[in-house]
Structure 1
């Protein structure tokens, strides 16, 4: 075989329908679920590869947002405590 014949041949499919006749929407839904699952399992590995570093609480911008105050005994004391 020549190189031209090898280039024209399509690669082997990643998914193969063994039984039934799924619609294009069903195949797309399956691919979406499998992609999301693969990304979810890859995220912890990526975090471990980065050294497991976490963001410091000092750089967390959510701390700048005031939490709602809860009325009741000791509420004035809890109004200044960080959560």
Structure 2
């Protein structure tokens, strides 16, 4: 049982892709390389998530109650 396996050159083993059909120009190969490299890079890092103040653990601690005129306004204002 003989297999017809071609031995690859070091350049072929290192290549990211291989052209199996057609005869692209060097410019076309360069453009394809840029597109594939950009797709493989994953793009920019995602923006940091905005702080969720609804789940702030400091809000679970009870604050002293304000008394006097306008105290109801002060009860909802952040400190």
TM-score by length of 2: 0.29
The answer to which structure, 1 or 2, has the higher relative contact order (CA under 8 A, 6+ apart) is 1
Between structures 1 and 2, the one with greater helix share: 1
* TM-score w.r.t. length of structure 1: 0.28
